Amino acid sequence: MVARGVAASLLLSLARQMRHRGPLLLGAAPRQALALGAGLHWPDRAEGTGLAAFRLARRAGAPGALLSMAAHGPAGLRRARRQGADLVFLSPLFPTPSHPGAPSLGPFRWAAQARRAGRPVAALGGILATNAARVPPPCCGLAAITALA
């Protein structure tokens, strides 16, 4: 589970709940992730020094320090590979209401970019029950924002 924008007062409770359900990754909050034994989800094109500190702690064996990164094209995929991401969310696969008017990759371009990622890639963007069967390989998972709201 990737948690973004969750109130700090709720994070400890969420981390406890997720311990037995699967990994918890905090969006762009490296210090909080390390403090909670959680992973980190890093946005595409994000700036900040926290990612370097998280990667150092990860190399030193910090528990739960998984790293996922968002990518919106080849540059983001190269960055994720350089940073050693465990998982990349490549988006948007389909047109999505959470980013109105943003161009989508479409299944063929998404698949071509995912094959060159050098990392496991999950599909994000406009995925609904009606089009999930059109998600191409080498997709290792589906992610949704608006469809789950």
CATH number, domain with residue 130: 3.20.20.70
79 and 8 in a single domain? The answer is: no
- The residue range of the domain holding 9 is 1-65
43 and 103 in a single domain? The answer is: no
69: which strand partners? 42, 88
Rounded to an integer, the average pLDDT of 24-31 is: 92
Give the C-alpha separation, 66 to 84, whole Å: 10
48 and 81 in a single domain? The answer is: no
- What's the pLDDT at 148? 63
79 and 148 in a single domain? The answer is: yes
Reading the block at residue 127, the tokens are 């995925």
- Contact yes or no for 145/115 (Cβ under 8 A): no
100 and 116 in a single domain? The answer is: yes
45 and 110 in a single domain? The answer is: no
Average pLDDT, the chain: 91
- What's the pLDDT at 8? 81
Listed residues 37, 65, 93: the one ending a domain: 65
Segment among 38-42, 45-49, 81-85 with least mean pLDDT: 45-49
Rounded to an integer, the average pLDDT of 45-62 is: 88
45 and 89 in a single domain? The answer is: no
81 and 133 in a single domain? The answer is: yes
78 and 145 in a single domain? The answer is: yes
Give residue 121's pLDDT band: very low, low, confident or very high (50, 70, 90). Answer: very high
Whole-structure pTM value:
0.90
Reading the block at residue 24, the tokens are 């918890």
Residue partners of 138: CB distance under 8 A and separation at least 6 = 111, 114, 115, 121
24 and 44 in a single domain? The answer is: yes
**Cα–Cα–Cα angle for 13, 53, 14, rounded to 5 degrees:** 10
Rounded to an integer, the average pLDDT of 82-107 is: 94
Listed residues 34, 65, 96: the one ending a domain: 65
Give residue 131's pLDDT band: very low, low, confident or very high (50, 70, 90). Answer: very high
Listed residues 41, 65, 89: the one ending a domain: 65
CA 143 to chain centre: 9
- Considering just the CA atoms, what is the radius of gyration of the chain in Å? 15
Rounded to an integer, the average pLDDT of 36-58 is: 89
Rounded to an integer, the average pLDDT of 23-33 is: 92
Amino acid symbol at 34: L
**Number of independent structural domains in the chain:** 2
9 and 20 in a single domain? The answer is: yes
